[in-house]
Structure 1
Amino acid sequence: MALTRVNWEDLPAGTRQAVEKHTGRVRSARTVSEGWNSAVAMLVTSYSGTVFVKGLRQTYARRWTQDAEWMISPYVAGVGGRVAPRALWRVEEDGWDLLGFEAVEGRHAVYEPGSADLPRLMHTMTRLGKIRCPDLPLKSAEDRWRPYVTEPEHAAWFAGPALLHTDYNPLNVLISGSRALLIDWAWATQGAGWIDPACLVIRLIAGGHSATQAESAVSGLPAWQQAPAEGLALFAAASVRVWGEVAEASSASWTARMADAACAWQAHRALAV
């Protein structure tokens, strides 16, 4: 369920003052409508420039997503990686946990067949695949998907050393000029490198691709080329259970599309084993 958005002027005075220690005096703040998982999502402009601010109440059950984004940012937004906007500062004040990111002009990706955004995204995913997974307390792919396999030992197929984004909702892909940047790293995971392309395949099917077209779109990724057929089949089956659970818990139309897409991919994968 989407969180109700909180505007700048509705934040406690102490929280706003803490933010202005980083930004300088705020001239304007525009709440954005995209996304569902942050109570605060706004572009804040001061005399020194504009930053994107996102955040949650400190009592919110999923505040750990703030920790994950803050923790991973130096590795994905640094000079060597640069596949995401930089996290600039963090404010924890008066019951709020806010992150300030560099503001990047752009738009969200389009996942329709033939979209010019997909080659840009493939380039970014290739770069992500070259970033060494940092020694951080990240979620492991084995643990994340073990509840969704029929035999616990099957989760071993998902283990690996790669740094994964895993949430390729098109709202999490920002197209800025010729670049595709990945935002919202709440679900950063360590696991087999082919899991990220697999997660994207389901999104592409939901965006209008056939399963064959979706797999063709990611076929140039080194991680996909190394993917074992049995591992993909097990991940496809697990994804059906994941998205079926999500769709059952939500009446949003996009969850049903994802559940249908996962089923379509599983049927396709069953023929490839």
Structure 2
Amino acid sequence: MSLSRMKWEDLPMTVRRAVEAHTGPVTAASTTSGGFNSAIAATLHTRSGPVFCKGLPMDHRQIVTQRREREINPHVVGLSPRLLWHVEVDGWDLSGFEHINGRHADYRPGSDDLRLIVECLQRLQQVECPDLPLKQAEQRLRGYVTEPAEAEMFAGDALLHTDWNCANLLIKGRAYLVDWAWATRGAAWLDPAGWLVWLMAEGGHTAAQAEAWAGRIPSWPAAPADAVAAYAKANARLWAEIAQGRPDEWTSRTASAAGAWALYRAQQDQARVGC
């Protein structure tokens, strides 16, 4: 469920003063409309430059996602905006990040952004997964597989972002990966698999076109075909469940793309077996 987005001015004065102890006086604030994981998400304008601030009430059930993002940040410097400060005051948990004055990625066929995202994904797959209490891919997807053994196909030691919607890729000369709320440990090919569904949902790619882009990531061609098919089905079930609880156009479009890719994988498997 998405969170109601607050304005900077709606935060308690004590919380704003705690932030300004790090930033200096905030002269203006622009609220970000996108995203589902933060109650406050705003660019704070200060005399020393802009800062991106995001946060949640400390008693919110998703507070663990904020903490996970801070824990991950030192390990993805160069891929993601740098964490600058963190405050916990009067029931609020807020983090300040380096501000990237970029735009959201364009996922349409022919976009120059796609090459930049491939480079970003390739760099991420060279990062060693830190020793943090991350959810494991087989745990996250266990409820969406047909057989328990299928979930084990998703296990691995790679650091995964898992949420490759275009709002989480900022483009400014290169691609910056933001919002690590759902960081996971698992098989490296799962991130290219997740990305290709967004290429279909937000860029209008066919399944074959999207898989061709995923194929530029070395882990993808090495992925076992039966594991990919199992993931495609599990992901389609996951998105069908999300769409039932959040029947908006964006979610429905993503669920349709996930279903279309699962069908494509099933057809590919039938063709492979028939050869």
Provide Cα deviations, 1:166-185, integer angstroms capped at 9, x if missing partner. Answer: 001111111112x0011000
Identity %: 52
Q: Residue 134 of structure 2 corresponds to which residue in structure 1?
A: 138
Q: Residue 151 of structure 1 corresponds to which residue in structure 2?
A: 147
The amino acid across from 2:154 in the alignment is F
Segments of 5+ residues of structure 2 without an aligned counterpart are: 270-275
Aligned equivalent of 2:157, options 154, 161, 174:
161
Q: Residue 245 of structure 1 corresponds to which residue in structure 2?
A: 241
Measured in 2, the distance between the counterparts of 1:36 and 1:191 equals 23
Measured in 1, the distance between the counterparts of 2:105 and 2:60 equals 29
Provide Cα deviations, 1:212-236, integer angstroms capped at 9, x if missing partner. Answer: 0000112111111211101000000
TM-score, normalised on structure 2? Answer: 0.95
> Tell me, what secondary structure is at the counterpart of 2:268?
coil
Measured in 2, the distance between the counterparts of 1:241 and 1:34 equals 24
For the pair 1:16 / 2:16, whether they are aligned, the reply is yes
Q: Residue 43 of structure 2 corresponds to which residue in structure 1?
A: 43
Aligned equivalent of 2:215, options 215, 219, 236:
219
For the pair 1:203 / 2:198, whether they are aligned, the reply is yes
For the pair 1:34 / 2:34, whether they are aligned, the reply is yes
TM-score, normalised on structure 1? Answer: 0.96
1:209 CA displacement: 0.6
For the pair 1:118 / 2:114, whether they are aligned, the reply is yes
Asked whether the 8 Å contact 1:229–1:272 carries over to 2, the reply is no
Measured in 2, the distance between the counterparts of 1:130 and 1:144 equals 23
Measured in 2, the distance between the counterparts of 1:49 and 1:257 equals 37
Higher mean displacement: 104-113 or 189-198: 104-113
Segments of 5+ residues of structure 1 without an aligned counterpart are: none
For the pair 1:184 / 2:165, whether they are aligned, the reply is no
> Tell me, what secondary structure is at the counterpart of 2:205?
coil
For the pair 1:229 / 2:216, whether they are aligned, the reply is no
Measured in 2, the distance between the counterparts of 1:89 and 1:272 equals 48
> Tell me, what secondary structure is at the counterpart of 1:222?
coil
Asked whether the 8 Å contact 2:3–2:38 carries over to 1, the reply is yes
Provide Cα deviations, 1:172-201, integer angstroms capped at 9, x if missing partner. Answer: 111112x00110000000000000000011
> Tell me, what secondary structure is at the counterpart of 2:86?
strand
Measured in 2, the distance between the counterparts of 1:114 and 1:201 equals 15
The amino acid across from 1:191 in the alignment is G
Measured in 1, the distance between the counterparts of 2:206 and 2:84 equals 40
Count of aligned pairs: 268
> Tell me, what secondary structure is at the counterpart of 1:120?
helix
Measured in 1, the distance between the counterparts of 2:152 and 2:7 equals 44
> Tell me, what secondary structure is at the counterpart of 1:256?
helix
Asked whether the 8 Å contact 2:37–2:181 carries over to 1, the reply is no
Measured in 2, the distance between the counterparts of 1:48 and 1:200 equals 36
